[in-house]
A and B are shown apart, each in its own frame.
Chain A
Amino acid sequence: MLHELCFRLNDEIITLTDFGPTDTLLDFIRERKNLSGTKEGCNEGDCGACTIAMGELEDGELVYRPVNACIQLLGMAHGRHMITVDHLSKEGGALHPVQDAMARHHGSQCGFCTPGIVMSLYCLHEDRKDPPTRETVNTWLAGNLCRCTGYRPIIDAAMESCFGPIVPSNHPSGEMGAIDSSQSLFVGNDDAFFAAPATLKDALELYAKHPDSTPVAGATDVGLWVTKRLDELPKILHLGRIQGFSDIVVNTDGLTMGAGVTYEAALSHLADIDPDIAELILRIGSRQVRASGTIGGNIANGSPIGDTPPLLIVLEAAVELQSVDNKRSMPIEEFFIEYGKQDRNAGELLTSIQIPALQREEHLRCGKITKRFDQDISAVMAAFKFTLEGERIAAARIAYGGMAGTPKRANHAEQLLQGVSISDEVAWLPAITALSDDFAPMSDMRASASYRMTAAQNLLRKALLEIGGTSSSATRVTATRPDDLEAAE
């Protein structure tokens, strides 16, 4: 057991015992290290002004991802290498290519978002996995708001610099080995601590001892409890370093994901099920949020507007929960009891998610309605799975987010679709209408109740149309399915 937090910040190895469990990484960088390049714009992970590069050792190499320092808890930095904008170039020295391109393309005006944008582009420059396209740049910039430029010069700068020659980066991969990240970390005492167990056993034992502690995976939600609600959370149980917690196992029956799998890590596996899922994941938060946030966290917090639960419900996923002396599993929809209440007992952690493979006769669609396409929270989130026997719908699974106090199935609509022809639009109508029996949504700042109902009904209609053969190029203003795109061209 380690009792000292240790990570690398730019060139410096930081070792700490005197920090609060909910201290944020941004406050540490700005207030304790006086590194003022990284800015606070919103303090809730939405604007990206505080973006830094987070390096993690993977197969002996440091892999860097952009994260929002404002909602990263300081303790989560353990064993990682954090790079801030201050590190990319020395005063009067040569600029990093992304900095140089940003300046030459007039990519900054007021300059306050710029350090965050530079760090997102720096990570893209290091990444080299995504194709060198404008779509890639837009995806990597979705979490960086700029209010001045209109983005055009920033995108130009990115296209020019992010896919160009690799700059020798001297990432201290070797030196990182010196930081022991294999052991469980516990800093503090029984009344207040930051703990990052290295094994599930350690985590469950600690949670049994401190059932009042707060489990945290990526902190993309808990971070806001700290920065906005100003919650006192004296006992933080960070799940991000549990060995095996981020494993993904794929076999013919489907896939099993540890609860600590981030959206980013899950993306390619879930995309293999259906392209609509890739689209959905890419619209959750931003690159920064997806690098930290986990599928398990999205389920465990029980939000009625989480994007993955409706999808996982129609996929017939199951969740596994463990405590020190018990392990149980349930269909995911049973996990959500009512608003704010989940079937998770004291001392129990959600440990994994099993997703069955999609069968040949099963057809999936997702729909997400927001005011802005990227990085917005759903007004309505819909997922559909129809099992076809020829033209006939043998079974339908339909689930919505944003329509009730929990992610919820549309039982009436499902029943009324059974046996109906996928090509008979008139025959769908009773099921579409029946959604008003299944749901009584509310009005809030995202949408009115009546719009939610209309959109939900039309998303069902759209899914039926598309599965019935209408090209998504004729039903969507964005995210046409790859097959339909090919056919249209």
Chain B
Amino acid sequence: MTSTTATVHKAKKHDSGIKHVSGRARYIDDMPEPAGTLHVVPGLATIASGQIKSIDLDPVKQAPGVVAVLTRDHIRGANDTSPAGTGDDPVFAENVVTFHGQALFAVVATNRLAARKAARLAKVVYEADEAPLISVADARKVGSEVLETYQFLRGEPIEAIKAAPHRLKSEMKIGGQEHFYLEGQIAMAIPGEDGDMTVLSSTQHPTEVQHVVAHVLHVPQHAVTVETRRMGGGFGGKESQASQWAAISALAAQVTGKACKLRLDRDDDMIMTGKRHDFEVGFEAGFDENGRLIAVDTDLASRCGHSADLSLGVNDRAMFHSDNAYFYPDVRIKSHRLRTNTVSATAFRGFGGPQGVLFAERMMDEIAIETGLDPLDVRRANFYGQDSRNVTPFGMIIEDNIIDDLVTQLEKTSHYRDRRSEIEAFNKTSRFLKKGIALTPVKFGIAFTLNHLNQAGALVHVYTDGSVYLTHAGTEMGQGLYIKVAQVVAEEFGIDLDKVKIGATVTDKVPNTGPTAASSGSDLNGMAAKAAADQIKARMRVFVAERFQAQQDDVVFADNKVSVGESSMNFSDLAQEMHLDRISLSASGFYRTPKVSWNRDEVKGRPFFYFSYGAACSEVQIDTMTGEMKVAAVDILHDVGKSLNPAVDIGQIEGGFVQGMGWLTTEELVWDDQGRLRTHAPSTYKIPCASDVPEHFVTNLYESSGNREDTIYRSKAVGEPPLMHGISVFSAIYHAIASIKPGTKPQLDAPATPEAILSAIASLEPS
């Protein structure tokens, strides 16, 4: 590892920062439209479950501006957009409707408003099922599952709980979450010659969009090129969920021969695309008088919606993180994946992990009430050990545990203990308002648990003027991946950052990629880009060593020069001279994450390369008359190894925290008993706004010598883990409520809306 760096580990601005603030960053809807571009709008099912008896599209076809109405009959290939090709996510529903808002057809018209109006004119006759399965409870009652139940088991948890000196049994509901990326789903398909199709897609997974489009159009993958320059937010909502809109726009282009653009209206987007899984968790635990766990038995049931989508991975990750930072000696973690007549739940930052972690933290809070101990002491009593008590419920040994030191630092800098005493005193005398505080840890496993996704590629060209073009498998959704990887390349070549051009992510430049997900973007693509740069550098070393009669190993890349000993030449001159000497200045790099393995059937292996750690301390105040809540202060300490870009990382941590806080406080998804989503716009679905963030909001990076694993410049992944810092707010609310009647456990469900808080207060008194 280099001791000093010129570009990495520096707080560089987002590569598009200036373009963002000046309105010149182009999103797909801002791209100039080819002449004659048509606009596509889907038609939605108006029942949640049942048969389509008949469908009359004549009024749609006759509406002004309509060019074509697409149905299943237009599809030459497969009527499927599912990520794994399982056939349960149709482009257009055939005969059967499985959720309210499912696409039945699509209108292609000369303008978007005409298409929107026409899409509402279809006359569909349904035979609706009387009782669609909407909630987890509905599905459990009839045993409706989308995937098989799966479990981790170690020891004899049931017996151990029975024999434990202290026991608790509890349950909680955890709500889902709408991504609310500010740029909604969009794709524009441009037909080419020989049936080729270029698709501009706002997706985290261009390769999957390519595969789905090829599959639907019935063309080889080489005929489809998918390009993603930037997304206006993703958060997991454009991992599998972008494919359908790309496929429909491509189908429209195939049918009409014109460029076709599909941009979902916000309400349709919220109705038609998947969200975070909501969970119902039941658990039992046995523990000693110090609050240390003896055994845990937990039952996680999630609403997966009408299809599998990514539910296997999401629910597995909920299980992988049900321990959070705690050692469970004897343990059973059981996961039920329920099929309901709701939109298919999908990836969302944390990918099931947050639900598992929330369960663990709730258990700690309840043990604290049962034992009368400070919840932080209970947490600490259960932290994973260094050399013992260090094996997860799925058998992986934790080798990089820093949680105790990290929490100790935050405990000190946040003045947790003093503030907790002050709060206890305040609550004794305050009749209507109660305060709460909580310090909660996060441990999060880094790697895709589906092993083949742990790979990435990059393409690097050096041009003869010394400027560099970079493109890689990862997509930019605002998380700063492009600038981080560019920093790596600039560092490697020893050139200024502005010499590196960051190209859009395109499937014909870097093929066969995985999604930009699982926080893995900079780990994978940083390494792949370095691998590409290394190849070019190796050729440069040979050339320079020969030129100056020196050793290749002594060649240094720095300050826009390539030097050896006293001799040096400009990087640009070197490029020019190598070109004249007929040496390639282009390379593709490839990276596969080492060490990871996971055998799901045998519950065996090492699913994660390493773990990321962090902790947050939040203070809240609640109004016991109305349930209103205000966050008073937040302190965060988070481990990103040696940060590639501290400004970008702090932005991810702060933004992740606020998104997690929103998930657990103001953001409530409501479906009615007919399966209609009632919160399908920002007027009814409330993500945090500026005033929800407290003035005291302090975020620090944990100082260390870096990732113990050999990652890119010893950095750590950052995208998902900080979302779980929002749990500190939920836990603080729990503390505030519990202070009303010490010794009694409130029944607080998430999100902690004013209504949920008031209901939890009421739960303190026997009814």
B755 close to A447 (CB less than 8 A): yes
Which chain A residues lie closer than 8 Å to B695 at the CB level? 134
In the complex, what residue of chain A is closest to B658 when comparing beta carbons? A150
In the complex, what residue of chain B is closest to A109 when comparing beta carbons? B478
B182 close to A372 (CB less than 8 A): no
In the complex, what residue of chain B is closest to A114 when comparing beta carbons? B20
A455 close to B754 (CB less than 8 A): yes
Interface status of B570 (Cβ within 8 A of chain A) = no
A455–B428 Cα gap in the complex (Å)?
A: 24
Interface status of B612 (Cβ within 8 A of chain A) = no
B689 close to A112 (CB less than 8 A): no
A109 close to B651 (CB less than 8 A): yes
A447–B691 Cα gap in the complex (Å)?
A: 22
Which chain B residues lie closer than 8 Å to A148 at the CB level? 233, 478, 651, 655
B687 close to A44 (CB less than 8 A): no
A371–B29 Cα gap in the complex (Å)?
A: 32
Contact status of A36 and B478, CB under 8 A, knowing A112-B183, A112-B232: no
A249–B620 Cα gap in the complex (Å)?
A: 43
Contact status of A373 and B232, CB under 8 A, knowing A89-B22, A111-B478: no
In the complex, what residue of chain A is closest to B678 when comparing beta carbons? A445
B623 close to A47 (CB less than 8 A): no
In this complex, the member of A39, A46, A147 whose beta carbon has the largest number of chain B beta carbons within 10 angstroms is A147
**Which of A100, A109, A474 is in CB contact (< 8 Å) with B480?**
A109
B27 close to A39 (CB less than 8 A): yes
Interface status of A322 (Cβ within 8 A of chain B) = no
Interface status of A170 (Cβ within 8 A of chain B) = no
A138 close to B690 (CB less than 8 A): yes
Interface residues of B in 14-30 (CB under 8 A from A): 14, 16-27, 29-30
Interface status of A276 (Cβ within 8 A of chain B) = no
Interface status of B571 (Cβ within 8 A of chain A) = no
Contact status of A47 and B117, CB under 8 A, knowing A147-B235, A372-B689, A458-B626: no
Shortest CB–CB separation between residue A446 and chain B, in angstroms?
7
Interface status of B433 (Cβ within 8 A of chain A) = yes
B753 close to A371 (CB less than 8 A): yes
Size range of the interface on B?
A: 35 or more
Which chain A residues lie closer than 8 Å to B19 at the CB level? 111
**Binary interface profile of B, 641-662, with partner A (CB < 8 Å = 1, else 0)?**
0000001101100111111000
The interface-forming segment of A151-159, A329-337, A409-417 is A151-159
Which chain B residues lie closer than 8 Å to A102 at the CB level? 17, 20-21
**Which of B22, B679, B690 is in CB contact (< 8 Å) with A141?**
B690
A376–B686 Cα gap in the complex (Å)?
A: 8
**Binary interface profile of A, 428-470, with partner B (CB < 8 Å = 1, else 0)?**
0000000000000000111110010011001101100100000
Which chain A residues lie closer than 8 Å to B459 at the CB level? none
A371 close to B17 (CB less than 8 A): no
Which chain A residues lie closer than 8 Å to B697 at the CB level? 150, 152
In the complex, what residue of chain B is closest to A115 when comparing beta carbons? B23
In the complex, what residue of chain B is closest to A113 when comparing beta carbons? B182
Which chain A residues lie closer than 8 Å to B678 at the CB level? 444-445
B27 close to A228 (CB less than 8 A): no
Contact status of A372 and B22, CB under 8 A, knowing A43-B265, A110-B231, A477-B629: no
A475 close to B433 (CB less than 8 A): yes
B630 close to A478 (CB less than 8 A): yes
A375 close to B689 (CB less than 8 A): yes
Interface residues of A in 126-183 (CB under 8 A from B): 134, 137-139, 141-142, 144-155
Interface status of B749 (Cβ within 8 A of chain A) = no
Which chain B residues lie closer than 8 Å to A373 at the CB level? 628, 630, 691-692
Contact status of A230 and B120, CB under 8 A, knowing A41-B182, A377-B683, A474-B433: yes
A49 close to B24 (CB less than 8 A): no
Which chain A residues lie closer than 8 Å to B433 at the CB level? 474-477
In the complex, what residue of chain B is closest to A286 when comparing beta carbons? B689
Which chain A residues lie closer than 8 Å to B29 at the CB level? 30, 36, 40
A440–B632 Cα gap in the complex (Å)?
A: 35
Which chain B residues lie closer than 8 Å to A151 at the CB level? 658, 688-690, 693
Interface status of A323 (Cβ within 8 A of chain B) = no
Interface status of A275 (Cβ within 8 A of chain B) = no
**Which of A85, A106, A465 is in CB contact (< 8 Å) with B22?**
A85
B691 close to A85 (CB less than 8 A): no
In the complex, what residue of chain A is closest to B430 when comparing beta carbons? A474
Interface status of B266 (Cβ within 8 A of chain A) = yes
A455–B753 Cα gap in the complex (Å)?
A: 13
A147 close to B24 (CB less than 8 A): no
Which chain A residues lie closer than 8 Å to B324 at the CB level? none
Shortest CB–CB separation between residue B759 and chain A, in angstroms?
8
Interface status of B413 (Cβ within 8 A of chain A) = no
**Which of A40, A44, A230, A379 is in CB contact (< 8 Å) with B682?**
A44
Interface status of B758 (Cβ within 8 A of chain A) = yes
How many A residues, CB 8 Å from partner? 87
A461–B431 Cα gap in the complex (Å)?
A: 13
Shortest CB–CB separation between residue B411 and chain A, in angstroms?
23
Contact status of A38 and B623, CB under 8 A, knowing A44-B266, A445-B679, A475-B432: no
B658 close to A47 (CB less than 8 A): no
A145 close to B687 (CB less than 8 A): yes
In this complex, the member of A106, A107, A454 whose beta carbon has the largest number of chain B beta carbons within 10 angstroms is A106
In this complex, the member of A100, A108, A459 whose beta carbon has the largest number of chain B beta carbons within 10 angstroms is A108
In this complex, the member of A49, A88, A151 whose beta carbon has the largest number of chain B beta carbons within 10 angstroms is A151
Contact status of A106 and B689, CB under 8 A, knowing A152-B654, A455-B754: no
Interface status of B125 (Cβ within 8 A of chain A) = no
In the complex, what residue of chain A is closest to B429 when comparing beta carbons? A474
Interface status of A292 (Cβ within 8 A of chain B) = no
Interface status of A91 (Cβ within 8 A of chain B) = yes
Interface status of B739 (Cβ within 8 A of chain A) = no
A134–B691 Cα gap in the complex (Å)?
A: 9
**Which of A95, A149, A370 is in CB contact (< 8 Å) with B655?**
A149
A99 close to B21 (CB less than 8 A): yes
**Which of A47, A49, A103, A478 is in CB contact (< 8 Å) with B628?**
A478
Which chain B residues lie closer than 8 Å to A446 at the CB level? 684
Which chain A residues lie closer than 8 Å to B692 at the CB level? 372-374
A103–B116 Cα gap in the complex (Å)?
A: 37
**Binary interface profile of B, 230-254, with partner A (CB < 8 Å = 1, else 0)?**
1111110000000000000000000
B25 close to A111 (CB less than 8 A): yes
Interface status of A391 (Cβ within 8 A of chain B) = no
In the complex, what residue of chain B is closest to A87 when comparing beta carbons? B23
**Binary interface profile of A, 353-384, with partner B (CB < 8 Å = 1, else 0)?**
00000000000000101111111110100000
Interface status of A201 (Cβ within 8 A of chain B) = no
Contact status of A150 and B693, CB under 8 A, knowing A106-B17, A110-B233: yes
Contact status of A95 and B682, CB under 8 A, knowing A110-B231, A369-B626, A373-B692: no
**Binary interface profile of A, 13-39, with partner B (CB < 8 Å = 1, else 0)?**
000000000000001001000101111
Which chain B residues lie closer than 8 Å to A73 at the CB level? none
Interface status of A298 (Cβ within 8 A of chain B) = no
Interface status of B670 (Cβ within 8 A of chain A) = yes
List 27 A-B pairs, Cβ < 8 Å.
A36-B26, A40-B29, A95-B18, A104-B13, A111-B19, A112-B183, A115-B20, A115-B23, A142-B690, A147-B182, A147-B235, A148-B651, A151-B693, A152-B654, A367-B626, A379-B755, A447-B755, A451-B754, A451-B759, A455-B758, A458-B626, A459-B625, A461-B625, A476-B433, A476-B628, A477-B623, A477-B630
Chain B interface (Cβ < 8 Å from any Cβ of A): 11, 13-14, 16-27, 29-30, 32, 113, 116-117, 120, 179-184, 230-235, 265-267, 430-433, 477-480, 621-623, 625-630, 647-648, 650-651, 654-659, 666, 668, 670, 678-679, 681-684, 686-693, 695, 697, 699, 753-755, 758-759
Given contacts A46-B681, A141-B690, could you give 17 more A-B pairs where the C-beta distance is less than 8 Å?
A: A37-B23, A37-B24, A41-B184, A106-B647, A109-B480, A110-B231, A110-B232, A110-B233, A145-B687, A150-B693, A151-B690, A377-B684, A454-B758, A455-B627, A477-B628, A477-B630, A478-B628
Query: Closest 6 A-B residue pairs measured CB to CB?
Result: A37-B23, A110-B478, A112-B232, A111-B20, A150-B658, A109-B478
